[in-house]
Amino acid sequence: MTIAERLEQAKEIYQLLFENKGQNASDGSSVEHYLMKIIGSLSEADKANEQGRDVNTHAYENKNHKEAYKAWQKQHKEAHSSFSKIAYEEHILGTQQDKLADVYIGLMGLAMKIKEDYNVSDEKMIKPSGVGVDTRCDVSKRALFSEICYALTKSLINHLHYLNLHYMPVELFHYSQQIGDLFAFDLDWHVAEKMKYLQATKS
């Protein structure tokens, strides 16, 4: 997915988040309010990891839940030509990958909220950025899952305190791109399925 495509996805996420809650995009909630929800999703992802709720491992209830979910969705589509919310809840909801998709979606949604509030251009959003999670926190492929969650949380809070909000949407937008690499999973697939689930549960 190109950076421009991700920006279009971010706009879709932004609308979906607020439509799903029946809220106007400019609901007056603070950046800190939304950032805390994102950090909460990171904590839930860490807890899911500790409990072994990983869609790809047979250790989780003796199943490879991702493959079981794909098979269920395929069967459901053949019968009903629509997304199966039940399959998502059975196999994906509450796993570490599901919660990390929530983190990505939250970051994108918040980035677009600030972008709109401060009238930041699309061109500025997709411009190459040197933004990255603070590697001084020892984030690496060998880092523990909880250490990566901590590093991401620390970097987000540090940038909230030291950056003008006008620049924050660009930072958040580029942070979100790193989640798949940091946690070594198929971020795009999980975000796409979570968005289908949010659409299916939209009030």
Is it the case that residue 74 has pLDDT exceeding 80? no
**Per-residue model confidence as pLDDT tens digits over 1-40:** 777 888 888 888 888 876 555 444 555 567 788 888 999 9
Q: No. of H helices and E strands in the chain?
A: 10, 0
**Per-residue model confidence as pLDDT tens digits over 44-62:** 999 999 998 988 875 455 5
Q: What integer pLDDT is reported at residue 136 of this predicted model?
A: 44
Does the pTM surpass 0.85? The reply is: no
Token pair in block for residue 101: 């998709």
Among 86, 164, 175, 88, smallest CA distance to 130 is for 175
Token pair in block for residue 66: 């991702």
Q: Token pair 């992802």 is at which residue? A: 45
